[in-house]
Structure 1
Amino acid sequence: MCGGNQSEVTEFLLLGFKGLNKYKLLLFIILFFSYLVILTGNLLIIALVSTKDHLNIPMFFFLKHLALADVLISTTIIPMMLDAIVLEEKRVSVSGCMVQLYFFCIFGFVQCFLIAVMSYDRYLAICSPMYYNSMMHPRLCLQMVLGSWLLILLISFEMFLFLQLEFCGQNGIDHFFCDIGPLVKLATSDTCLLVLVDFIMCILVVFIPFALIIISYICIFFTIMTLPSVSGRKKAFSTCSSHLATVCTYYGTILMIYVVPLDDNLLNMNKFMSLLYIVVTPMMNPIIYSLRNPEIRRALQQIVRKFRDSN
């Protein structure tokens, strides 16, 4: 219970991008069209992989679910962010804030696991091509994807601890969404157990997958270096370059935001860095894979041809 003259917080005030009011129209337009690109690009990837037989391979099966996670995490954050930009601040109930945080964690952690699964797929394709088809069979691919989505069971315990927090007096969140750090900072009850559980969760669902990705790419690098021809090395590297670009973009921003401590004076920097994995990475993934992958390009060309012929 809140003591003294402090009242219990029933809603939070998302302050958004304070200090950028004169640029809010430009910021709104950029983010709005970025969201449209995210939806269009990722939904197109999902449709292509689901309908084109020649894309029915493990890598694209994982890519389809990564595209779905990209759409969901962006949809969880961006519409409320746009609302906050227009209103200059956004009021959200405590329960609504917790729901947003819950889904943000689910889709973010699912992305970590899917990116790790995709790196394992590239490892087998390059380092053990003889056994690739026998090991990456459809049943195993489905099990790995379902395992990634079932992270909801792990996250539920941490969210239960969040629901036990008390918030009294101050309710302003200097961010554009309900992130873990600002909520813990606002809490007036003991957060030691929550911080410990969050640290363990980060190790399990962020750093262990990242370590597996690093190990996979070390093995891939040494395997590629043993190939006798330059053309063979280029071809092998091209098969994992799109995924490597996704790894660098996603994990690079995650590590900078949640591992490197930022001073309170650099909160705006933290916000803009958050935009990298909430907006930029989901927007760039379809572009990276469609431009660098001949199978995706061929499927897009088939659709364009059919559209032209129908007209």
Structure 2
Amino acid sequence: MKTENHTTVREFVFEGFSSFHEHQLTLFIVFLSLYVLTLAGNILIVTIISLDRHLHTPMYFFLSMLSASETLYTLVIIPKILLDLLGPSKPISLAGCATQMFFFITLAINNCFLLTAMGYDRYVAICNPLRYAVIMNKKVCIQLVCGACIIGLIVAMIQVVSVFRMPFCITKVAHFFCDIRPVMKLCCIDTTVHEVLTLIISVLVILVPMGLIFISYILIIFTILQMASAEGRKKAFATCASHLTVVIVHYGCASIAYLKPKSENTRDQDQLISVTYTVITPLLNPVVYILRNKEVKEALCRAIGRKLS
């Protein structure tokens, strides 16, 4: 009977927001609005940085890479959510589910390490300004971005292969996309080993980058407090504020989602957390950097001024 079940499961169906059936149109409008704003904001950031020579610095190079990664990250998940909200949830094949999980993990981890690279950039700029141009040269920046992507690809491959080598007996996913834990719950066999592997990987890709950023900011704060000029201290804090805001929200959501005990929250609570880091958090990046970053706002004003003239 088990063998038969293993061979018959060829696709999954997301239960997702089925418990909010009467609110699906409202959810569709809300998610579509957030998605459009996210795409517009991130594309705007990439465009401004590429066109304005004043922003051709390592800090904004990393920001443009983060915005591009966030755009792809939402593209992997949100269109399928919107499609399912329009009517009965459409099945997704095993290959489609594995593909979605692979790109989701790759891009999520890539974002974590890009934020770490941005933290390192701020550390060098404030704590070692005289050697900044030498340390953060173009080659180093490209290597950091490529390293973040490679780590994401390797971890995603390990995770996807370990999950989809297991047999599945259940077709209904109690989630709205192919995340690791909800998919593992569909397996016919004991998944303890795979859950431990997932937890270890989560600790490494969340706590290690977060720890490196934390150490960077401790050193940054010590350096700023030693500055004689109040204006210099204010400017240094301002250059870090946007990045620090994004870091706190990003790693906060990731920690709650992947480092908490699996039975701590109900299904609806888990989905609310997932909505936060898949739909809302990607919008935070353009909002923070467009509204709170002085240089990006000035570049935007220059671009608008040129267009009007």
Task: Tell me the TM-score range normalised by the shorter chain.
Answer: over 0.9
Instruction: Determine if contact 1:73/1:108 at 8 Å carries over to the other structure.
Output: yes
Equivalent pair of 1:112/1:205 in contact (CA under 8 Å)? yes
For 1:11, give the aligned amino acid: E
- Taking only the aligned residue pairs, the percentage that are identical comes to 37
Matches within 5 A, 1:115-264: 115-151=115-151, 152-168=153-169, 170-261=170-261, 263=263
Distance 1:165 1:71 in 2: 31
List, as ranges, runs of 4+ consecutive aligned residues in structure 1 with deviation greater than 6 Å.
4-7
In the alignment, is the contact (CA less than 8 A) between 1:262 and 1:270 conserved in 2?
no
Distance 1:6 1:262, change over 3 A: closer
CA RMSD of aligned residues (A): 1.9
1:273 maps to 273
**1:4, CA displacement in angstroms?**
7.2
Q: CA deviation at 1:199?
A: 3.0
5+ residue gaps, structure 2, are none
Deviation at 1:61, TM superposition (A): 0.4
Aligned 8 A contact 1:15 1:90 in 2 = no
Query: 1:204 Cα shift?
Result: 3.1
Asked if 1 retains the 8 angstrom alpha-carbon contact of 2:206 and 2:254, the reply is no
**Which segments of 5 or more consecutive residues in structure 1 lack a partner in the other structure?**
none
Distance 2:100 2:172 in 1: 16
Residues 84 and 90 of structure 2 are in contact (CA less than 8 Å); yes or no, is this contact kept in structure 1? yes
Residue 158 of structure 1: how far off its partner (Å): 2.6
Q: State the alpha-carbon separation in 2 of the partners of residues 225 and 18 from structure 1.
A: 53
Residues 254, 142 of structure 1: CA spacing in aligned structure 2 closer, same or farther, 3 A cutoff? same
Conserved? CA contact 1:13–1:91, under 8 Å: yes
- Residue 107 of structure 1 is matched in structure 2 by 107
TM-score between both structures, scaled by the size of structure 2: 0.93
In structure 2, what is the Cα distance between the partners aligned to 1:196 and 1:44? 40
1:106-148 per-position Cα deviation (integer Å, ceiling 9, x unaligned): 0000001000010011111111112211110111001111111
**Is contact 1:49–1:60 with CA below 8 Å preserved after alignment?**
yes
Q: Letter of the 1:119 partner, please give it.
A: G
Offset of residue 165 of structure 1: 1.2
Whole-Å separation in 2 of the counterparts to 1:228 and 1:264 = 48
Q: In the alignment, what sits opposite 1:287?
A: 287
CA distance in 2, matches of 1:253, 1:281: 8
Matched with 1:8 is: 8
In the TM superposition, residue 3 of structure 1 has moved relative to its aligned partner by 4.2
Return the offset for 1:174.
1.1
**Equivalents in 1 of 2:182, 2:256: separation in Å?**
16
